[in-house]
């Protein structure tokens, strides 16, 4: 991916993650996390779809951004009483989130291209 395009994508992802952290500051539901993840994937798919790079590289950027979102705000969707369990299950939940996102990329691609 050319350097300027990589910088633009990185900047857009960082701005989205900052907005997500702000929105999640008071807590987050699982549904709200899902909405944020889909919104982020649509944004990143739209950005990387215009870049001349292999599809696997583009998908990797999308999945990395979802992983960053999980790292940034997923703990805000966990009730305080369940937090110790979340800490134990966090790696598995992150992997599950990325697996779902990987499947969703193929579904979202036609929707993003239609816009």
Digit-coded pLDDT (tens) for 71-103: 999 999 999 899 999 999 999 999 999 999 999
Residue 32 has pLDDT above 70, yes or no: yes
> What pLDDT, on the 0 to 100 scale, is given for residue 52?
79
User: Is pLDDT of 111 > 80?
Assistant: no
Total number of domains in the chain:
1
CA-based nearest residue to 12, from 68, 70, 78, 86: 68
Which residue range forms the structural domain that includes residue 8? Answer: 3-114
8 Å CB contact between 102 and 41: no
Give pLDDT, residue 66. 97
Max Cα–Cα distance, the chain, nearest Å: 47
The residues, ordered by sequence, that sit 6+ positions from 82 with a Cβ below 8 Å of its Cβ are none
SS3 for 115?
A: coil
pLDDT above 70 for 47: yes
pLDDT, average across residues 67-73: 97
């Amino acid at each position: 991916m050319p350097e300027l395009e990589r910088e633009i994508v990185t900047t857009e992802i960082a701005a989205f993650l900052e907005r997500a952290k702000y929105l999640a500051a008071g807590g987050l539901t699982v549904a709200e996390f899902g909405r944020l993840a889909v919104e982020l994937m649509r944004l990143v798919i739209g950005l990387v779809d215009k870049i001349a790079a292999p599809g696997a590289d583009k998908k990797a950027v999308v999945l990395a951004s979802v992983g960053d979102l999980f790292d940034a705000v997923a703990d805000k969707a966990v009730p305080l009483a369940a937090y110790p369990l979340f800490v134990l299950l966090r790696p598995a939940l992150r992997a599950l989130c990325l697996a779902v996102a990987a499947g969703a990329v193929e579904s979202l691609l036609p929707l993003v291209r239609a816009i």
